[in-house]
Amino acid sequence: MDNMRRSGEMELIMRTLADPVTYRRLVYLVSALVLGPVWFIALVMVWSLCLGLAITPFVIPMAIVLAYMTRGFAAVEAELARSLLDVEARAPAGGSSEPGFWAWLRGLFAGGFWRAQAYLMLRWFAGFPVALIVVAVLATGLGMLFAPAWVPFVQGGAHLGFWRPHTFLQSLALVPAGLVVLPLGVVMAKPLAIPFEAIAAGLLNGEPAPASTPVRVSARRPRPSPAQHPRQALETHAAVDAIVVFALVLIWVVTSRGYFWPVWVALPLAAALGIHAWLVLFAGEPGIVRQFRGSHTLAASVGVGGVIAAYFTAIWAITGHGYFWPVWPILAIVIMLAVELAAVLLMSPRRAEMAERIETLETSRAGAVDAQETELRRIERDLHDGAQARLVALGMSLGMAEQKLTEDPHRAGELLAEARLGAEHALRELRDLARGIHPPVLADRGLEAALASLASSTPLRVGLSADVAPRPAPAVESAAYFVAAEALANAAKHARAHRVDITVVRDGDALELEVRDDGAGGADPAGTGLLGLQRRVEALDGSLTVTSPPGGPTTIRAELPCG
């Protein structure tokens, strides 16, 4: 029974060591070693200035600095909580929906501000001691593991209290202990981070909108990109740091001009800003994550570890060089990253691909929703401005004809003829609109016939080669059709092409479509039309590539899964 329990415990420990979540929690806990003192020193300093200037008008700008500084610091912590703790957190919004400067100033110090203050202080009072414990355990484990490399070279050996090994052979006895203590320091990160998950979820939850304030949504105003909010928070963070450092340098110039003490505030502020910048950078650039085997945890750890290593190196350089003691924390960071990399490599090879696939599907799903909303607005606009207007005019013409039927039959006949023409135009517009949503020939006769009909209605010379048997799913056919339609429209309107060649082939479980024109080239893959096509294709787990060098030719290639 005891053997089974010990086996289960070992299996649990091995699973924890191989779980990327463990290393994300570890990075979060260790980050308090740098961020905790930064938040505490900066907040105490600015609060002291606010209290000292309380009876002067200068307290107002200093209070604004405090609010924005808290907001910037909270943005860093919210990014860390989202990336490393998997907690939905955000910085306080601040401001007020009511007009006036004083209402806006009061809004800066709403409930979200005080919750963010509490969280930042907890990162010092609770996070910093926990980080010290974790780092001490990791350092002890590393020291024991690599004891043969340093114990024989230290005068008097290692001081363990009950024993003082000083030879190479004696230090070998510490290696098994290091193999136990080091994994213990890694495993303990997961349970130690659980309270901080609850704290982050409870305190970093932004500022809810007032219930009495109606929320207005404009259909014409484009929604901000998801990447804009973190970048705006980073810009705010950088601006607040610059103001704080400038104020301290100004105080130094006015008071003493002696020892340049503002460097000790600027240095941790720069470290926190560097961590924030790295988190925003790799969160907005999926290509960076791919360089780290698709692991967000490893990408975050490398950036945070690099900033911490630079932080300690800068302290060593400022304090007068001498013995290069930062080699030990840098070695610890390198070993931790190596362990994390090994865990990533030992994971199932499909794990990283699955994570990247999930990220791609989330992005494409959001893009497909936006494209669908845009398409619905276009259909609504076309119905309102086209068919609906013609039907209203048709009803008016029929009403006037009814009135003129007995008094002026000739005029009534003219009105009925106009109504018949209006009905024909409205019917034609409705057919065109329905064809734009889903062409009837595509549903009835398939992709090859739909592309042939599309080619025949285009003023360009179109060469079509199609072999799509067996017939793919309707969603795949629809996506391929609209890729070809958009490519033909672009070739005619923008590329000034004379000939377009369309090739569509089904190769096993994939449908490959290629549209090539002889136009001027220079197509923008980020344009509205092509971006909408890319989102439509990616929503089906396909891929779309656009090759359009200046001078041409332009080649649009789509690959859609049919399995």
Tens of pLDDT along 23-35?
A: 888 888 888 888 8
pLDDT at residue number 74: 84
| End-to-end alpha carbon distance in the chain | 49
* Residue 247 binned pLDDT confidence (cut-offs 50, 70, 90): confident
200 close to 25: Cβ distance less than 8 angstroms: no
Q: Residues with Cβ < 8 Å from 499, sequence gap 6 or more?
A: 460, 461, 462, 463, 517, 518
Which run of H or E residues covers position 206? none
Backbone angles phi, psi at 80, to 5 degrees: -65, -40
Which run of H or E residues covers position 512? strand 510-517
Please state the rounded mean pLDDT for residues 6-27. 75
pLDDT at residue number 20: 80
* Residue 9 binned pLDDT confidence (cut-offs 50, 70, 90): low
pLDDT at residue number 257: 67
- At residue 207, does pLDDT exceed 70? no
Backbone angles phi, psi at 223, to 5 degrees: -70, 145
Pull the structure tokens for residue 92. 């306080």
| Dmax (CA) of the chain | 123
Give the residue with greater pLDDT, 425 vs 485: 485
- Rounded-to-integer distance, Cα 77 and Cα 121, Å: 12
pLDDT at residue number 7: 62
Q: Residues with Cβ < 8 Å from 147, sequence gap 6 or more?
A: 158, 165, 171, 172, 174, 175, 178
Strand partners, 501: 463, 516
Please state the rounded mean pLDDT for residues 268-288. 77
- Rounded-to-integer distance, Cα 91 and Cα 204, Å: 6
64 close to 50: Cβ distance less than 8 angstroms: no
**Length of the chain (residues):** 563
- Rounded-to-integer distance, Cα 448 and Cα 429, Å: 25
- At residue 529, does pLDDT exceed 80? no
Residue 481: burial class (beta carbons within 10 Å; 0-12, 13-18, 19+): buried
Pull the structure tokens for residue 437. 């949503």
Q: Chain-centre distance of CA 55, in angstroms?
A: 44
551 close to 521: Cβ distance less than 8 angstroms: yes
The CA-atom distances, in angstroms, between 397 and each of 113, 389, 405 are 64, 12, 12
Please state the rounded mean pLDDT for residues 363-384. 59
Q: How many CB atoms lie within 10 A of CB 337?
A: 17
- At residue 102, does pLDDT exceed 60? yes
Strand partners, 507: 510
Pull the structure tokens for residue 292. 């780290």
- At residue 384, does pLDDT exceed 50? yes
- Rounded-to-integer distance, Cα 92 and Cα 68, Å: 10
pLDDT at residue number 351: 54
* Residue 227 binned pLDDT confidence (cut-offs 50, 70, 90): very low
Q: Is the dihedral of CA 371, 374, 379, 380 positive or negative?
A: positive
Q: What is the mean pLDDT of the chain?
A: 76
* Residue 353 binned pLDDT confidence (cut-offs 50, 70, 90): low
pLDDT tens-digit series, residues 421-476? 777 766 766 666 555 555 677 777 888 888 888 788 777 888 888 888 888 888 88
Q: What is the pTM of this model?
A: 0.45
141 close to 121: Cβ distance less than 8 angstroms: no
HEC readout, 243-297:
HHHHHHHHHHHHHCCCCCCCHHHHHHHHHHHHHHHHHHHHHHCHHHHHCCCCCHH
Pull the structure tokens for residue 518. 């002889």
pLDDT at residue number 95: 59
- Rounded-to-integer distance, Cα 217 and Cα 45, Å: 41
HEC readout, 403-467:
HHHHHCHHHHHHHHHHHHHHHHHHHHHHHHHHHHHCCHHHHHHCHHHHHHHHHHCCCCEEEEEEE
pLDDT at residue number 214: 38
